[in-house]
Amino acid sequence: MSNADEFTVYGGLSEVTDDHRWAFGTGFTDPLEGIDSSVPAGVDGAALARYSLMLGDDALVYSQRLQQWMTRAPELEEETAIANIALDLLGQARLLLSRAGQADGTGREEDSYAFFRDEAEFLNVRLVETVDADFAELVGRLLLFASWRLALFDRLSGSKDPVLAAIAAKAVKELTYHRDYAAQWVIRLGDGTDVSQRKMQAALCVVWPFIDELFTPHPAEASLPGVAVNVGTLRAEVDDVLHTVCATAGLDRPQRTGLTRVAGRSGRDGVHTEAFGYLLAEMQSVARAHPDATW
């Protein structure tokens, strides 16, 4: 380092020193470092990888959508709430994507899955990929997502795969307060003024068509008995929660039919909404412009 560099603001960032403190560009550590990565006997590794991606993509894509609310939230308290929820989901995504790389035997890293797959390779449900038009839609969508994922992960914490079970048990604690946050806001808006009631009801009508997809069993689940959760079995539990929240808020549960499948396929098969391509472009552009960079 020359003397001139010493006085630039960037000097300390790029210099290779013995300083252990994190500054910039030191690379992410593997979030599953040191954890037994073996696939349990009798479990199909490729199927386990696919299943991990399904659950990881839900969290990754939704986290990205929530992050787009940053600097746009109505109050600072809501800004921190949304940021924290997005961060929890990003953490869950990192663990699940890393698990996918272990299970399929490729050793592929989380960043490779997040930034170098194309639209049709993402396996998330379509609920998480569309844009929230307003705050009511944000909390309505979060209520559906967190209620469903909480029920799912609560079952998954008993999975035969010890890594998925551990990730799920941790996530249950987080999803519990995500759901409470969303439910409390849906009630506050639904039971609020005429305007907030009308907007909250309209928001539920927008997000409701995505529900059916959440509970449609997928062959990937059936191929992992004892490991994966059959989402078809979760509906009654989640419906109970949604009923309680809507009844308390004085809101009607919309009677909308599910979002159309394309030739029998949906988000879990890589079929996505138009909004998803734009989300991916934003999320992936920097990593693709600098494919050899470490972050």
Partner 1 sequence: MVTVTDAATAGKIAAAVPDPELPMLTLADLGILRGVRAEGDVVVVTITPTYSGCPALREIAGDLRYRLRQAGFAHVEVRSQLAPAWTSDWITPSGRRKLAAAGIAPPGAAGQRASGPVPLTLTAALRRVGCPRCGSQRTTQTAAFSGTACKALYRCDECREPFECIKDI
Q: Is 181 in the site for partner 1 (CB under 8 A)?
A: yes
Q: Which two tokens stand for residue 107?
A: 């050793």
Q: Which two tokens stand for residue 249?
A: 């808020």
Residue whose pair of structure tokens reads 């006997």 in the numeric block? 41
How far, in Å, CA of 21 to CA of 1, rounded? 19
To partner 1, the closest distance from the beta carbon of 243 in angstroms equals 11
Of 13, 116, 133, 173, the residue at the interface with partner 1 (CB under 8 A) is: 173
29 binds partner 1 (CB under 8 A): yes
Asked if residue 180 binds partner 1 (CB under 8 A), the reply is yes
- Of the residues 12, 31, 192, 217, which one makes contact with partner 1 according to CB under 8 A: 31
Place of tokens 């009677």: 255
Give min distance, CB of 87 to partner 1, in A.
4
Q: Which is nearer to partner 1, 207 or 245 (CB)?
A: 245
Secondary structure (DSSP) of 25-82: ---PPPTTTTS--PPPTT--HHHHHHHHHHHHHHHHHHHHHHHTTTTTSSSHHHHHHH
Q: Which stretch binds partner 1 (CB under 8 A): 173-181, 208-216, 271-279, 280-288?
A: 173-181
Residue from 187, 200, 227, 246 touching partner 1 (CB under 8 A): that is: 187
User: Where do runs of H (alpha helix) occur along the chain?
Assistant: 3-6, 11-14, 45-67, 76-103, 110-115, 135-156, 162-190, 194-207, 211-214, 219-222, 235-249, 274-289
CA dihedral for 142, 92, 78, 286, sign (positive or negative) = negative
Q: Near partner 1 by CB under 8 A, which window of 41-49, 108-116, 158-166, 207-215?
A: 158-166
Which of 174, 246, 272, 283 is close enough to bind partner 1 by CB under 8 A?
Answer: 174
Smallest gap from Cβ 76 to partner 1, in A, equals 9
Is 237 an interacting residue with respect to partner 1 (CB under 8 A)? yes
Interaction of residue 276 with partner 1, rule CB under 8 A: no
Identify which of residues 12 and 258 has a Cβ nearer to partner 1 in the complex.
Answer: 12
Rounded distance between C-alpha atoms, residue 215 and residue 233, angstroms:
8
Residue with tokens 């994966």: 228
58 in Cβ contact with 124 (< 8 Å): yes
Binding site for partner 1 (CB under 8 A): 20-22, 26, 28-29, 31-35, 77, 80-81, 83-85, 87-92, 94-95, 150-151, 154, 162-163, 165-167, 169-174, 176-177, 179-181, 183-184, 187, 237, 240-241, 244-245, 248
